Structure 1
Amino acid sequence: MQNTFITIAKFQYSTEAEIIKGRLESDGIQVFLKDNITIDTDPLVSQAIGGVKLKVLAKDEEQARAILKSIKIYSVDNEGHPMVCPNCKGEHIKMYSTITNFKSLMSFLIGLLFFTLPFSTRYQYKCEDCKTEFPTTT
């Protein structure tokens, strides 16, 4: 059972998985990526097949999960300081894009139909502690 691989994380793109793979391997943990070549060939299938799976040996699972937990990335300001939630003053803030109005919806649809990049994308921050959403300041 110690020689079997266990999935400990999933990523939408292989570049994210490769960064974490390098970090884990630098600590002596053997890592295997599944479906990374398929997604590199056609990124649109990432959601359909469940993303790139990051696998480690069962004996290294606990250590690998501890490393993943320690390097979880949150948003920082222009000076490199952690973003602070205006509601709870927590520092577990993530940025995400959203479709909030007609202009961004139309931009998304045009991009989807003509395989182009979106013209208008809105970003917001969300606190993982209190779930407060607030707009970007820049």
Structure 2
Amino acid sequence: MKDTFVTIARYPYSTEAQIAKGRLEADGIEVFLRDNVTIDTDPLVSQAIGGVKLKVLVKDENKAREILNSITNYTLDDDGNLIKCPNCNNKQVGLYSSISDFKSLISFIIGFVSGTLPFTARYQYKCEACETSFPVK
């Protein structure tokens, strides 16, 4: 059982996974990436296949999670200060794109059909603790 791998994190692109892998390997943890070559070949399938999976041995799972949690960066404002949730005052806030109006929906459809990036996108912050979404200022 100790020789099996367990997924401890998923990343949309292999560059982020490679950074985490390097950090864990620096602490002597054996790391395996899954689906990184597929996503490097075609990044558009990342969400469909669940991203790049970062796997570690079961015996190293707790230590690896502690290391990853200690280096997680959250959203900063223009002055370098952590953005806090207006609802619960939590500092673990992420930036997400959303399709919330007609303009962003049309842009998404045109980008999808033409194979290009969307012309416009709406972004919002989302608290990881209470799930509150609030606008980017």
TM-score between both structures, scaled by the size of structure 1: 0.91
Unmatched segments (≥5 aa) in structure 2: none
* Partner Cα distance (1:8, 1:2) in 2: 15
Task: Note if 1:131 corresponds to 2:124.
Answer: no
* Partner Cα distance (2:93, 2:105) in 1: 25
Task: Note if 1:46 corresponds to 2:40.
Answer: no
Identical columns (%): 64
* Partner Cα distance (1:51, 1:125) in 2: 21
* Partner Cα distance (1:115, 1:14) in 2: 21
Instruction: Give the match for residue 76 of structure 1.
Output: 76
Deviation of the 1:40 alpha carbon: 0.6
Counterpart amino acid of residue 103 in structure 2: K
* TM-aligned CA distance change 1:88 to 1:64, over 3 Å: same
Instruction: Give the match for residue 13 of structure 2.
Output: 13
Unmatched segments (≥5 aa) in structure 1: none
Q: Please, which moves more after superposition, 50-59 or 25-34?
A: 50-59
Count, aligned residues: 137
* Partner Cα distance (2:128, 2:57) in 1: 30
Q: Please, which moves more after superposition, 113-122 or 5-14?
A: 5-14
Give the alignment's Cα RMSD to 1 decimal.
1.4
Instruction: Give the match for residue 91 of structure 2.
Output: 91
TM-score between both structures, scaled by the size of structure 2: 0.91
Instruction: Give the match for residue 55 of structure 2.
Output: 55
